[in-house]
């Protein structure tokens, strides 16, 4: 029996960004340098497959620094941490490596610079997300106020309207953030913004690729984790850009086949912490059921590379 035809549009760029790639390398290189176990505070990146793979190599994932022994190295996740975390590690004389994405670190520096200039900071971000907690934790309580929506801007209580600056979480929806920034500028005309948008190049590029292919797709799958902010934003972007059905899947086994019945075109992308092996797994699952043709929709070429911390630069990863 012949299989139905399916046109797959494959977004490019997709999957790992430079910050995620660097964070994973940091864990692997720390294991090479110090042996197992190496402790990691929070998931190094938001992807179960990646975390499980590193756990198999000897990484131990914990929620807090208090869960780590003093005599083993600890790594801080790519999302960044509040200042109290490395301060506590130093107090305990622990070996620690900070795997915070350099683009997140840039936001931390920005917030501190504005604060030093006497400005109160407004952060556009998602409450409870590790990156938001880490950025807000760079300054004393009350110095950073969080807004999640345009509506939040209207009810914001600030110390002095003429002395404000804003920063943003790096993994937000580009379009939604534009609306919140416009609301901030309308209410606080003298507010100071970043010289360049805080939303990272990888988040922007992945969203642009989804927009480019969404209208020609009957459905779209985003390979990523349910706790991955940038992956969830890709689902939202796909829907807003004209794809009637967008679904987040961690693995091929999570595909809701009934919801995809009757489709003839499918868009596939992956969040910045999802490895390419999982994208291939999803495509192979469709090859089992359909006669698949794949077309790559490329909207940008990424050549960004971030160095690992100096303490690990003498380590070679085998293979």
Active-site residues, by number, are 131
Query: Is 230 within any annotated ligand binding site?
Result: yes
Q: What angle do CA 37, 41, 45 make, to 5 degrees?
A: 100
Q: Identify any residues that bridge with 10 across adjacent strands, giving them in sequence order.
A: 268, 296
Query: Is 2 within any annotated ligand binding site?
Result: no
Strand order across the 164-168 sheet: 144-147, 120-124, 164-168
- 307: which 2 tokens? 């160095």
Query: Is 229 within any annotated ligand binding site?
Result: yes
Query: Is 129 within any annotated ligand binding site?
Result: yes
Q: For the chain, list the strands marked E by DSSP.
A: 5-12, 38-41, 59-62, 74-76, 96-98, 120-124, 144-147, 164-168, 219-223, 246-249, 265-270, 291-298
The Cα 186–Cα 181 span in angstroms is: 9
Query: Is 5 within any annotated ligand binding site?
Result: no
Query: Is 66 within any annotated ligand binding site?
Result: no
Query: Is 195 within any annotated ligand binding site?
Result: no
Q: Count of residues for the chain?
A: 319
Non-local (6+) Cβ contacts of 23 within 8 A are 44, 45, 77, 78, 99, 101
Strand order across the 38-41 sheet: 59-62, 38-41, 74-76, 96-98
Class of residue 44 by CB neighbours under 10 A (exposed 0-12, middle 13-18, buried 19+): buried
Class of residue 307 by CB neighbours under 10 A (exposed 0-12, middle 13-18, buried 19+): exposed
- 65: which 2 tokens? 């620094």
Known binding residues are 17, 46, 79, 101, 129, 170, 200, 228-230, 273
**Binding positions for dimethylallyl diphosphate:** 46, 79, 129, 228-230, 273
Binding positions for [4Fe-4S] cluster are 17, 101, 200
């Amino acid at each position: 029996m012949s299989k139905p035809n399916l046109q797959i549009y494959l977004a490019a760029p997709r999957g790992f960004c430079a910050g995620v790639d660097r964070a994973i390398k940091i864990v692997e290189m720390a294991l090479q340098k110090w042996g197992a176990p190496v402790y990691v505070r929070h998931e190094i990146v938001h992807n179960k497959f990646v975390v499980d793979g590193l756990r198999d190599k000897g990484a131990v994932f914990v929620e807090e620094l208090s869960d780590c022994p003093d005599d083993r190295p600890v790594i801080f996740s790519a999302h960044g941490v509040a200042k109290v975390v490395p301060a506590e590690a130093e107090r305990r004389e622990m070996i620690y490596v900070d795997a915070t994405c350099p683009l997140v670190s840039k936001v931390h520096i920005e917030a501190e610079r504005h604060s030093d200039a006497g400005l109160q900071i407004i952060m556009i971000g998602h409450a409870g997300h590790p990156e938001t907690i880490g950025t807000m934790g760079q300054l004393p309580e009350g110095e950073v106020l969080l807004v999640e929506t345009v509506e939040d801007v209207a009810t914001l209580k600030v110390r002095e309207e003429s002395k404000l600056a804003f920063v943003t979480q790096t993994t937000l929806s580009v379009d939604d953030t534009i609306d919140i920034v416009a609301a901030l500028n309308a209410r606080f005309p003298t507010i100071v913004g970043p010289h360049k948008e805080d939303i990272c190049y990888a988040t922007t590029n992945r969203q642009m690729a989804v927009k480019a292919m969404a209208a020609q797709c009957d459905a779209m799958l985003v390979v990523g984790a349910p706790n991955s902010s940038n992956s969830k934003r890709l689902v939202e972007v796909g829907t807003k850009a004209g794809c009637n059905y967008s679904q987040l899947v961690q693995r091929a086994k999570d595909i809701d086949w009934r919801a995809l019945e009757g489709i003839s075109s499918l868009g596939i992308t992956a969040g910045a912490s999802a490895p390419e092996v999982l994208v291939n797994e999803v495509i192979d699952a469709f090859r089992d059921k359909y006669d698949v043709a794949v077309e790559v929709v490329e909207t940008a070429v990424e050549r960004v590379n971030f160095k690992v911390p100096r303490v690990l630069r003498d380590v070679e990863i085998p293979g």
